Amino acid sequence: MTRRAFYPGSFDPLTNGHLAVLSQAMQVFDAVTVGIGVHPGKTPLFSFEERAEMIRASVAETGGAAAVEVVAFEGLVVEAAREAGAVALVRGVRDGTDLDYEMQMAGMNGAMRPEVVTLFFPATPETRPITATLVRQIAAMGGDVSRFVPAHVAAAIRGKRAGR
């Protein structure tokens, strides 16, 4: 039996922090479904297809591509996890603020779908300050984000900025 986890997020853009959490999940589970939340009312920097390709390319570089699937989802995370056949939700935690929020979400998700547990993976020391929001803000102001994202993601961000 394949033990699958569901790792939800916007991944806009994919950061080194996201990859560190995904790497930890890949060590624990047979397979991981990365769920990219798609919200019709929001305009992301990257399309779903672009974000999915960034994730696939990054995972392929680590040699774990066969164990990772990327899907889009709308609605409740626990329902998307159930549809993916996941036994667990994977969440990254950088600090106490993240933990407080994630504990509330884990409690609510557990009440709705007790068969899907939530597992927290700590940020690595070097990825702890990274957020996709800060990466987008730094890039929008012309800053270099190459220390915070994979090289191909940094190139894609530069491409977006050049296209404006």
Q: Give the pLDDT confidence of 61-89 residue by residue, as tens digits.
A: 887 777 999 999 999 999 999 999 999 99
User: What mean pLDDT, rounded, does the chain reach?
Assistant: 94
**Pairing of β 31-37 and β 4-9:** parallel
Specify the pTM.
0.94
Q: Please give the Cα distance from 161 to 164 (Å, whole number).
A: 5
Convert the pLDDT of each residue in 39-51 to its tens digit: 877 889 999 999 9
Residues 6+ apart with CB under 8 A from 80: 6, 8, 35, 71, 73
Indicate the range of 44-58, 109-123, 149-163 predicted with least confidence.
Answer: 149-163
Mean pLDDT calculated for residue range 139-157: 95
Complete domains list, the chain, with CATH: 4-162 (3.40.50.620)
Q: Please give the Cα distance from 23 to 142 (Å, whole number).
A: 29
Q: Which amino acid is at 22?
A: L
Q: What six digits make up the tokens of 28? A: 């624990």
Tell me whether residue 20 is exposed, middle or buried, using C-beta atoms within 10 angstroms of its C-beta: 0 to 12, 13 to 18, 19 or more. Answer: buried
Check whether 164 has a pLDDT greater than 60.
no
pLDDT for 163 equals 66
